[in-house]
Copies of this chain bind each other. A is one copy, B any other.
Amino acid sequence: MTSHEREQFIIGVDLGGTNIVAGAMTLDGSRTLNVRSIPTNAALGDEGVADRMVTLVEGVILDTMRETGIFRSDFVGVGVGAPGPLDRERGIVLVAPNLGWLNFPLRDRIHDRLSLPTTLDNDANCATFGEWWQGAARGGRNVVGLTIGTGIGGGLILGGALYHGASDMAGEVGHTTIDLNGRHCKCGNYGCLEAYASASAIATRAREVLVREEGESAIPGMVNGRYEEITAQTVYDAAKSGDPVASEIVRDTARYLGAGVANLLNIFNPDTVVVAGGVTAAGDALFVPLRAEVRRRAFSPAVRAVNIVPGSLPGTAGMVGAVASFKQQYMGGV
């Protein structure tokens, strides 16, 4: 076989505070092979975590070679998604509080060890880009993505390309003020969307409500009275079985998210808003009141133009989007 006949692959890596996910994808995105996830072990420090990323990728490369009969030269490169803020051009993670990193040259570390062209991009940007390339936002031209986990990350796709802004900071939709005198956010601002609608904010609000309404909810029993063990998942589970306190917390979450999403509609007039992350486990209990709140708040021509959809690539959107970002940055387009 000539190299022309063999399929080429790009490796995607998504570095999170908890796990590293990697996998191999064909250039057209039609096949994804050997998706693996290992714990990040952030305590190992920047070099130690980079080692783990390299080992994980080497494993994906070797298994993909074995499986498909391709050569190492058939791997075009590696796209890495990492927490920001970061400097894409220099390939540096500037600050990553969850990892304890400061000015770490992640791209070059990966590149030097693997001898493959490597690009770096923000993890939340990648998650949105992945949903656009292969997931629920496919076909969109102007897309806003929100990934709701411990925090709320976001990404913007404009005219079919990931938008980065003047200094790679664009898309921080979790840190938009929806209540200027509201809750303190860990970013230093007051009233950020993230301080109301992230998974940790949902758990916090549940604890606050239960101090007053303990007897009316199944949640205390679900955690054996250990309130510190309440998570967003506890709240979704309770809401699903009709718990009134949990249901109200989910409705409030939809209201907060609705205000944030309505802002994005009026500013940005997207054709697609894709909401990913654990919060989508709440299903219609979240999406029905979310869409209603957006209708109440945003201009109707913007509401009519948009689809608000749950993500369809749980766990892999970031890895898939890291491949798409490699294509945009290194190959000139997706």
* Contact A269 B170, CB 8 Å, known A179-B179, A187-B299: yes
Q: Which partner residue on chain B sits nearest A144 by CB separation? A: B267
Chain B nearest CB from A172 CB (Å) reads 4
Cα–Cα distance between A126 and B177 once the two chains are bound (Å): 27
B169 with A305: CB separation less than 8 A:
yes
Which of A54-62, A203-211, A258-266, A313-321 participates in binding chain B?
A258-266
- A163: Cβ under 8 A from any B Cβ: yes
Cα–Cα distance between A191 and B173 once the two chains are bound (Å): 18
Between A170, A187, A271, the greatest number of chain B beta carbons within 10 A of the residue's beta carbon is seen for A170
B170 with A85: CB separation less than 8 A:
no
Cα–Cα distance between A190 and B188 once the two chains are bound (Å): 25
- A256: Cβ under 8 A from any B Cβ: yes
Chain B nearest CB from A322 CB (Å) reads 20
- A114: Cβ under 8 A from any B Cβ: no
A169 with B297: CB separation less than 8 A:
no
Which B residues are in CB contact (< 8 Å) with A166?
141-142, 269-271, 302, 305-306
A189 with B297: CB separation less than 8 A:
yes
- A241: Cβ under 8 A from any B Cβ: no
Q: Which partner residue on chain B sits nearest A164 by CB separation? A: B269
- Additional pairs, 18, CB under 8 Å, beyond known A94-B301, A156-B268: A85-B299, A142-B166, A154-B267, A167-B304, A168-B301, A170-B269, A172-B266, A172-B302, A176-B176, A176-B267, A177-B259, A178-B179, A179-B179, A179-B181, A180-B259, A188-B296, A189-B262, A267-B267
A-B contact pairs, 7 of them (CB 8 A): A158-B163, A165-B305, A175-B298, A175-B299, A177-B262, A179-B191, A264-B267
